[in-house]
Amino acid sequence: MDAGNLAEDARVEATTDADRPAGDSAGTRTAETHFGFRTVPLAEKQRMVDEVFHSVARRYDLMNDLMSMGLHRVWKDLLVSRLRPPKSERAFKLLDVAGGTGDVSFRTVEASGAGTRATVADINGGMLGVGRERAAALGLAGRVEFVEANAEELPFPDKSFDATTIAFGIRNVPRMDKALSEMRRVLKPGGRCLILEFSRVDVPGLDAIYDTYSFKLIPGMGRLVTGDAESYQYLVESIRKFPAPEAFAGLMRAAGLGRVGYTPLTGGIVALHSGVRI
């Protein structure tokens, strides 16, 4: 365990059942979940999420840059530096779950030696199609593959990846606990699971600015750029419904991950969660 992990572990407190968010498939709260601020049948959420990403796929990357003012690049680079892919020729296999148009995978192989390969797994063919085009344009098609797959049932053998990541994807998955268990299952022992997700702003003053920006500006920006304000209304609402970092750390532990911790980034707008398959 490195010192960074120890420090992170110390910041995470135990979670309780009361913290368990919708989207956890344990217990009796399985019938419903959140789709933004709406409560919807669990079985319906995936179809609704798929519509969002089919609608925005072509303009997804441009909107990410505009909405985050480029910050998503910094957050993803931090994830990759925490991942520490080998600079040498050593073989290293990354699975990027809900990897969409491939950003995390491209950044990982570009930051590493020739032995690193990445698999982007995503449920949405539209997002993967854009990703394949980007891989070809970047000359990375030989090192990054794209697989249509549900995070809740990954079509990969046990212990087959050195690392698993999911960036801004887990809050869209209806049964987050299943996805986390799957991300652990496919990891080799000692392998890292890193999760980048929006979190809770913890800087006084920034929270009010962030709320105004999210709810007043982002849906309008979505309408202008993608012709679809509703999808971006869902995205900002889904951020608010995502569990607080301590509660999410509890879900990671419940999925069997060890050395669980998290680091808030940019005043808590985003958190980088980590765990290890022991």
Binding-site sequence positions: 101, 122, 150-151
For ligand SAM, the binding residue among 33, 124, 164, 238 (CB under 6 A) is 124
Residue with the shortest CB distance to ligand SAM = 100
For ligand SAM, the binding residue among 95, 118, 127, 130 (CB under 6 A) is 127
Residues of span 44-103 touching ligand SAM by CB under 6 A? 46, 49, 53, 98-100, 103
Total residues interacting with ligand SAM, rule: CB under 6 A: 20
Q: Closest approach of Cβ 136 to ligand SAM, in Å?
A: 18
Residues of span 138-167 touching ligand SAM by CB under 6 A? 150-152, 167
Nearer to ligand SAM, 167 or 252 (CB): 167
| Three-class DSSP labels, the chain | CCHHHHHHHHHCCCCCHHHCCCCCCCCCCCCEEEECCEEEEHHHHHHHHHHHHHHHHHHHHHHHHHHHCCHHHHHHHHHHHHHCCCCCCCCEEEEEECCCCCHHHHHHHHCCCCCEEEEEEECCHHHHHHHHHHHHHHCCCCCEEEEECCCCCCCCCCCCEEEEEEECCHHHCCCHHHHHHHHHHCEEEEEEEEEEEECCCCCCCHHHHHHHHHHHHHHHHHHHHHCCHHHHHHHHHHHHHCCCHHHHHHHHHHCCCEEEEEEEEHHHCEEEEEEECC
Q: Closest approach of Cβ 1 to ligand SAM, in Å?
A: 27
Question: Known binding site for S-adenosyl-L-methionine: residues?
Answer: 101, 122, 150-151
Q: Closest approach of Cβ 9 to ligand SAM, in Å?
A: 25
Instruction: Indicate whether 172 belongs to the interface with ligand SAM (CB under 6 A).
Output: yes
Q: Closest approach of Cβ 256 to ligand SAM, in Å?
A: 19
Q: Which residues bind ligand SAM (CB under 6 A)?
A: 46, 49, 53, 98-100, 103-104, 122-124, 127, 150-152, 167-169, 172-173
